[in-house]
Amino acid sequence: MTTRPRLSSAWCAVVFLIGGAPLLAVEPAAEGFTKSDYDQHLASLQKRLPHEGFSVVIQKPFVVIGDEPLETVKLRAEKTVKWAVDHLKQEYFKSDPAAIIDIWLFQDANSYNEHTTKLVRRVPSTPYGFYSPSEKALFMNIATGGGTLVHEIVHPFMETNFPACPAWFNEGFASLYEQSSERNGRIIGNTNWRLRGLQTAIRKGNVPPFDTLCRTTTDQFYSDDKGTNYSQARYLCYYLQEHGLLQKYYRAFRLNAKSDPSGYETLRVVLGEKDMEAFQERWEAEVLKLRFD
């Protein structure tokens, strides 16, 4: 039997499954899609659930689906999803994603591989997780931690708020928050596992100039033969963050994207640099001093 209490547009539902029947609890809603929108979405989603052991929690603007106990799914929705969304919107994003986005949290690698393959009809190419714009969903092996989840949350927000964003900045910015925390109430990226490989590449002289990174096409960025594109983009964002320039750069890049689609000239202006080769030398020296244990 399904119990569906009457909900006004000022409320949203947290859905959980017991014995295959969805039950609803009422919580305050955020701005955005209406109750009717979510009701329709949940009805459609109910047909896609792999089995009755999945719990579903609305954490606007997302719907979080997990095969862990309900309380664990709710905790991840609040402590990771809501925390990241609130802080990213505070600093960068004015608009929510243009569609209701599902976040699938699978409890381990076996569950992630099995269910993702069935849901998207292909084997996932990463063991951690990914965002699929066509599916309007994130698929995560949550056993690997919440870092990739925060990374992937960035992408649907960037898709809506900065649709012209090139791959290098989209991934560099998202990668910044793979290891994140708060400083004075604001989200920050910390050093992470990508640092070691970047430092090795710097010592070998294998890191390309920033104009090369910025002018990569999407295909070029993802087919990186030197393996530095993600890390170089991430630690450029980290540098901008630590020098109080990341928010300024994001806004200026969005504003100037038509005239400067790569973001390189905007980067030079925001940095106040005429000699980008000299800047790169200083940036590399600063990166080599960073530590991640």
Condensed to tens digits (0 to 9), the pLDDT of residues 131-181 reads 999 999 999 999 999 999 999 999 999 999 999 999 999 999 999 999 999
- The domain total for the chain is 2
CATH code for the domain in which residue 123 is found: 3.30.2010.30
- pTM score, two decimals? 0.87
Instruction: Single out the residue in 93, 126, 161 at which a domain terminates.
Output: 161
Same domain, yes or no: 223 and 142: no
Residue 168 is assigned to a structural domain of this protein: no
Mean pLDDT of the chain: 90
What's the Cα-to-Cα distance from 181 to each of 41, 47, 107, rounded to whole Å?
32, 37, 23
| Predicted local distance difference test score (pLDDT) of residue 21 | 37
Same domain, yes or no: 75 and 151: yes
Residue 5 is assigned to a structural domain of this protein: no
Residue 126 is assigned to a structural domain of this protein: yes
Same domain, yes or no: 60 and 195: no
- Contact in structure between 247 and 91 (CB atoms under 8 Å): yes
Same domain, yes or no: 20 and 110: yes
Residue 172 is assigned to a structural domain of this protein: no
Same domain, yes or no: 151 and 184: no
Could you tell me the residue range of the domain that residue 237 belongs to?
177-289
> Predicted confidence band at 31 (pLDDT cuts at 50, 70, 90)?
low
> Predicted confidence band at 11 (pLDDT cuts at 50, 70, 90)?
very low
Distance of CA 48 to the CA centre of its chain: 23
| Predicted local distance difference test score (pLDDT) of residue 92 | 97
Instruction: Single out the residue in 137, 161, 185 at which a domain terminates.
Output: 161
Q: Phi/psi of residue 62, each to 5°? A: -110, 165
What's at 236, amino acid-wise?
L
Report which of residues 257 and 28 the model is more confident about: 257
Query: Prior bond to 28 cis, omega within 30?
Result: no
Same domain, yes or no: 154 and 207: no
Same domain, yes or no: 22 and 146: yes
Question: Rounded mean pLDDT of 18-38?
Answer: 56
- Contact in structure between 69 and 54 (CB atoms under 8 Å): no
